[in-house]
Amino acid sequence: MTLGVPVEKKKAAARVAQNANGHKRFRSAHARLAIAARKPVIPPTGTLKGGMPGDPATLEPAIPAPAVERAPNPAEKRQVSLAQMLVFELRVRDAMTSPPITAIATDSLRSIQNLMKAHRISGVPILANNVLVGIVSIEDIINALDSGHINEPVEPWMSRKIVTLRDHFSLVRAVAEFDRHGYGRFPVLDANNQLVGVITRGDITICLMHQLERRAEEAVAKEAALVATRAADEKAHRIVINTDVKSGDFESAGKLSQRIREVLRARGVAPEILRRAAIIAYEAETNIIIHSLGGRINTSIDAIKVRIKAIDRGPGIENVDLAMQEGWSTAGPLARELGFGAGMGLPNIKRCADEFVIQSELGGGTRLQAAVFLQKAGTTL
């Protein structure tokens, strides 16, 4: 029996078959269908009646089909399961050709033959007053050519014994019906008994292939998205460095900024931006060493910015505005001897920072917060 696969779908089938993976899935889908076809799982349902106009016999919805037995090869388990899932999940309306190519009862068999040729189909439902009254297959046409009634109207020659499927039936049920009746196609009716399509085995295969391909693409896309997200997370992964800074510990100065430089360099941050972050950390660190009783620097680095928070335990800055002036310093002789106390620390920090806040209170502590954005070019130092 010829499968009435319309040209469009044949092209689609060829496209899918070109894809190596698609081809594999195609075979798998076939295998699955073959299993389903060999083992009808649907209890016999529906009635077959001579179709009176307006009363087409229809298979009524069946009891939900039990699960089909598992395919034996565990390696194929996933694919078979997916195909299996799909034949239950997909409906006849998902696979059918719609709208269907139809003819009316008064048309000649010759015109139907031409219709089949033109659309490359092998069966045509016949309507009378928009109601399905019969069906003509390519065999009927061959018989007509043989017997010489090809130019007669179709009505007396069409098959009135019509089995239809409902558009909401599952594909697994459709497959079982094909197997049971041996027809090449079924007209498909909607809930209002209107003819909405025609379905063939080929339609089902192509539909499954497309679905499998789509699912596979979705799975690949999902996987790719997951990998991308993971990479972004990795990139955005925040590094927090909490450093205790001791008063007068000049030997340790620079370790934090060195660490910040290493992290930022590993992340491919531009040298200019990296330098600004390191200078802020260094100046904040030496400020605590030189001026305070000790403190702590909390640094957090993510994909967006470096945030440096320096908090000391006092004694606090008497006049923050003065401290922000270049050249103004309260550093002691030791610090000055070492080259600190130029009165440039805070102005340097402010200059390097994209965000800068300082709060201080004499007798209390100093709290400095600065941030450098990693993704935009800032002031060049």
For residue 210, the minimal CB distance to other proteins (Å) is 58
Residues 346 and 352 sit within 8 Å (Cβ to Cβ): no
Q: Pick the binder of other proteins from 248, 315, 347, 364 (CB under 8 A).
A: 347
Which of these segments, 36-44, 144-152, 226-234, 250-258, binds other proteins (CB under 8 A)?
250-258
Q: Pick the binder of other proteins from 258, 319, 325, 375 (CB under 8 A).
A: 258
Rounded Cα distance between 4 and 7, Å, is 9
In the bound state with other proteins, the residue whose beta carbon lies nearer, of 8 and 272, is 272
Angle, vertex CA 141, rays to CA 137 and CA 142, nearest 5: 115
Give me the long-range contacts of 86-90 (CB less than 8 A, separation at least 24): 86/171, 86/208, 86/211, 86/212, 86/215, 87/32, 87/33, 87/36, 87/170, 87/171, 87/172, 87/175, 87/208, 88/170, 88/171, 88/172, 89/170, 90/170, 90/171, 90/207, 90/208, 90/211
CA 219, 172, 54, 2 torsion: positive or negative? positive
For residue 233, the minimal CB distance to other proteins (Å) is 30
In the bound state with other proteins, the residue whose beta carbon lies nearer, of 271 and 332, is 271
In the bound state with other proteins, the residue whose beta carbon lies nearer, of 71 and 338, is 338
Residues 36 and 65 sit within 8 Å (Cβ to Cβ): no
For residue 370, the minimal CB distance to other proteins (Å) is 14
Tokens of 296: 């702590």
Side-chain-side CA neighbours of residue 109 (13 Å): 23
Which of these segments, 62-70, 232-240, 304-312, 339-347, binds other proteins (CB under 8 A)?
339-347
For residue 339, the minimal CB distance to other proteins (Å) is 4
Q: Pick the binder of other proteins from 62, 131, 342, 358 (CB under 8 A).
A: 342
**Sheet architecture: strand order including 366-373:** 239-245, 295-301, 305-312, 366-373, 355-360
Which of these segments, 61-69, 219-227, 256-264, 365-373, binds other proteins (CB under 8 A)?
256-264
For residue 275, the minimal CB distance to other proteins (Å) is 6
Determine, following the binding rule CB under 8 A, whether residue 351 of this chain makes contact with other proteins. Answer: yes
Which of these segments, 1-9, 71-79, 180-188, 272-280, binds other proteins (CB under 8 A)?
272-280
Determine, following the binding rule CB under 8 A, whether residue 379 of this chain makes contact with other proteins. Answer: no
Determine, following the binding rule CB under 8 A, whether residue 325 of this chain makes contact with other proteins. Answer: no
Rounded Cα distance between 62 and 180, Å, is 14
Partner residues linked to 97 by β-bridges:
198
Determine, following the binding rule CB under 8 A, whether residue 339 of this chain makes contact with other proteins. Answer: yes
Determine, following the binding rule CB under 8 A, whether residue 254 of this chain makes contact with other proteins. Answer: yes
* Core vs surface per residue 190-205: b (16+ CB within 10 A) or e: eeeeebbbbbbbbbbb
Phi, psi of 372 (to 5 degrees): -125, 125
Which of these segments, 118-126, 166-174, 201-209, 271-279, binds other proteins (CB under 8 A)?
271-279
Which of these segments, 15-23, 162-170, 309-317, 337-345, binds other proteins (CB under 8 A)?
337-345
Determine, following the binding rule CB under 8 A, whether residue 257 of this chain makes contact with other proteins. Answer: yes
Which of these segments, 76-84, 110-118, 228-236, 252-260, binds other proteins (CB under 8 A)?
252-260
Determine, following the binding rule CB under 8 A, whether residue 171 of this chain makes contact with other proteins. Answer: no
* Matching residue, tokens 């565990």: 74
246's CB contacts (< 8 A; 6+ apart) are 252, 289, 294
Residues 275-294 that bind other proteins (CB under 8 A): 275, 278-279, 282-283, 286
Q: Pick the binder of other proteins from 91, 173, 261, 305 (CB under 8 A).
A: 261
DSSP, collapsed to helix, strand or coil, labels residue 104 as: strand
* Matching residue, tokens 């209170």: 361
In the bound state with other proteins, the residue whose beta carbon lies nearer, of 137 and 287, is 287
Binding site for other proteins (CB under 8 A): 250-251, 253-254, 257-258, 261, 271, 275, 278-279, 282-283, 286, 338-345, 347-348, 351, 381
